[in-house]
């Protein structure tokens, strides 16, 4: 099982359908579609003389797990939506394992508790980010393919990771005549390889084949790679 953790740098309010109104944000989880995810919360249990219920809830208000305590003793545990509880509720470890996740499963998950007839309290939150394959890359150029001029090619793609308020970057790779990111001193790469500039176009550049792809990544996270763009055949204007 593979799951990757990255600290969240953003507001939970950006996630449609849920706000973490109180408590704290813990590290978010990045997972590839189709893989199981580990969603875990560690807390100090509340003390209460009566019924105390802890739940792990999804952004659509559905529960994945519930534990009922009475007079500070665990009484009943239940898992929902085919999730499997692998924590230890008696010690405040509320950790569960989901089945393979899909894009629509991305969102905020929270640990909540309810004392007797009091209102439900959200203690902490985490976001499950489901990594998606970036959209097929597209290649464009500045139409400055004139002999002796510098011509810039650009690559573009869009993230499909859900939710969209992640902190991943998109980096690009180029192929020139099927050679990946060639180190020709006449090629200058821009930030994150988004652009490739051909310095001082020559006649030998004619009919070279260019294409590009996009990969999502961040601190400790390697995402998916897009399909390559359509191949672009370079022409030289003399």
User: What's 225's domain CATH number?
Assistant: 2.60.40.10
Give the separation between CA 102 and CA 100, rounded to whole angstroms.
7
Confidence of residue 220 (pLDDT cuts 50, 70, 90): confident
Same domain, 124 and 153: no
pLDDT tops 80 at residue 182: yes
Domain boundary among 131, 147, 182: 131
Contacts for 211 with CB less than 8 Å, ≥ 6 apart: 137, 139, 174, 175, 228, 229, 230, 231, 232
Same domain, 112 and 173: no
**Helix or strand or coil: residue 89?**
helix
Same domain, 146 and 93: no
Same domain, 126 and 226: no
Domain boundary among 107, 131, 155: 131
The phi, psi pair for 54, rounded to 5°, reads -105, 140
Report pLDDT digits (tens) over 19-60.
565 567 777 899 998 999 999 999 999 999 999 999 999 988
What pTM was estimated for this model as a whole? Answer: 0.81
Whether 113 is covered by a domain: the verdict is yes
Domain boundary among 131, 166, 187: 131
**Stretch 66-87: mean pLDDT, rounded?**
96
Whether 238 is covered by a domain: the verdict is no
Return the structure tokens found at 85. Answer: 């509880």
Structurally, how many domains does the chain consist of? 2
pLDDT tops 80 at residue 219: no
In contact, 20 and 80? CB cutoff 8 Å: no
1-5, 90-94, 117-121: the lowest-pLDDT one: 1-5
Same domain, 126 and 169: no
Domain extent, residue 174, equals 138-233
pLDDT > 70 fraction of the chain, expressed in percent and rounded: 90
Return the structure tokens found at 214. Answer: 């996009």
Give the separation between CA 86 and CA 126, rounded to whole angstroms.
17
């Amino acid at each position: 099982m593979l799951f990757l953790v990255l600290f969240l740098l953003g507001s939970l309010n950006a996630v449609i359908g849920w706000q973490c109104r109180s408590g704290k944000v813990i590290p978010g989880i990045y997972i590839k579609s189709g893989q199981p995810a580990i969603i875990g919360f560690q807390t100090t249990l509340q003390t209460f003389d009566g019924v105390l219920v802890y739940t792990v809830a999804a952004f659509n208000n559905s529960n994945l797990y519930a534990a009922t305590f009475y007079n500070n003793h665990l009484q009943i545990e239940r898992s929902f939506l085919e999730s499997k509880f692998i924590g230890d509720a008696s010690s405040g470890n509320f950790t569960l394992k989901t089945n393979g996740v899909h894009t629509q499963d991305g969102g905020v998950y929270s640990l909540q508790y309810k004392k007797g007839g009091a209102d439900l309290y959200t203690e902490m939150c985490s976001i499950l980010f489901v990594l998606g394959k970036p959209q097929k890359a597209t290649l464009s150029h500045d139409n400055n393919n004139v002999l002796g001029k510098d011509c810039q090619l650009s690559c573009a793609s869009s993230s499909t990771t859900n939710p969209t308020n992640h902190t991943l970057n998109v980096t690009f790779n180029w192929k020139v005549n099927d050679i990946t990111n060639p180190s020709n001193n006449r090629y200058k790469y821009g930030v994150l390889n988004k652009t490739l500039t051909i310095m001082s176009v020559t006649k030998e550049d004619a009919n070279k084949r260019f294409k590009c792809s996009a990969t999502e990544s961040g601190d400790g996270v390697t995402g998916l790679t897009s399909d390559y763009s359509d191949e672009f055949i370079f022409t030289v204007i003399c």
